[in-house]
Amino acid sequence: MTHLGTKTLLKVLNLIARLPWKYLYGLSTALRWMIFDLIGYRKKVIFKNLRKSFPEKSEKEIEQIAHDFFLHFTDLIVETPKLRTLSATDISNRITGDISVMDRYFNDHTNLIYLMGHRGNWELANLFSSIRFTHDCIVVYRPLQNKAAEEWFMDLRTRFGAQLVPMDEIFKELQKPRTNPYCVVLANDQSPNPKTAFWTEFLNQDTGIFRGVEAMARRYELTVLYADFKKIKDKRGFYQVEVSVITDDPKNEPTNGILEKQIRILEEDIRSQPHNWLWSHKRWKHNRPSKLRQDQLYEFKHSN
């Protein structure tokens, strides 16, 4: 995108941020028609992903999930710039659920990894974590190549004190001494390099999983939690969080056992509310290699 194009887009996003919620969701409904009905953005990818993930569902059911996802997707588009103008109280009120387990771990001075999938509004979830968690929040992210867009999102994501660290720098960052316990926040359901990924079955398909989470948890002895964000029915922009403990003892988990537990929880959550996931992402663009190393499988106990 050109400099002028980026500048114009960011001005539009800042204008959207000042709209009242009523008009914001009216805009979302209009964008749904424009993006998916008129332009047809990634509809082939979306329907392919849904049909392979839910072979037991009828075409009518698949179409309903897709239709609901389209609106969820455009809701995310308009909600995200709005987050730049919301107070800490407003953000906290948009996510409900019991997160008292975080306080217990903080009192025990336990460092954590807080995993999410691309469910709910993950930008809202990141801000929620930096507001509500007593831990120091370290959000792992992928920097954008466009500098203006990178600055815009950096301002959004750090406005309540979160520290953003690029994925390729996170191991170095965790070696630094810290006074307070910390919580590494990241989503772990994107498409990794097939030659280094852990391979398992997810939503009826061979699926590669990033192994960095498990390596991080073992090296720094981090308790691993998983958080799901369900959409609250008939209440756009509001979510229910449910936190699960994957392991308190990562070094004694079977190799890739942490990842296997995470993906099984995510799969169950997606099945319970299927439109609430990023179906437009090319999650299965890589094929499983014909030969895998043992450490890419879930078959043996890790040697400490």
SS (H, E, C) the chain: CCHHHHHHHHHHHHHHCCCCHHHHHHHHHHHHHHHHHHCCCCHHHHHHHHHHHCCCCCHHHHHHHHHHHHHHHHHHHHHHHHCCCCCHHHHHHCEECCCHHHHHHHHCCCCEEEEECCCCCHHHHHHHHHHHCCCEEEEEECCCCCHHHHHHHHHHHCCCCCEEEEHHHHHHHHCCCCCCCEEEEEECCCCCCCCCCEEEEECCEEEEECCHHHHHHHHHCCEEEEEEEEECCCCCCCEEEEEEEEECCHHHCECCHHHHHHHHHHHHHHHHCCCCCCCCCCCCCCCCCCCCCHHHCCCCECCC
pLDDT of residue 301: 47
pLDDT of residue 2: 75
pLDDT of residue 112: 98
Give the predicted TM-score (pTM) of the model: 0.93
Cα separation, 21 vs 79, in Å, equals 9
CB neighbours (10 Å) of residue 55? 10
Residue spans per domain, the chain: 3-283
**What residues of the chain score a pLDDT lower than 50?**
301-304
pLDDT of residue 1: 66
**Is 91 within 8 Å of 132 (Cβ atoms)?**
no
pLDDT of residue 33: 97
pLDDT digits (tens, 9 = 90+) for 209-220: 999 999 999 999
pLDDT of residue 159: 95
210, 285, 209, 231: which is closest to 42 by C-alpha?
A: 285
- CATH code at 3-283: 3.40.1130
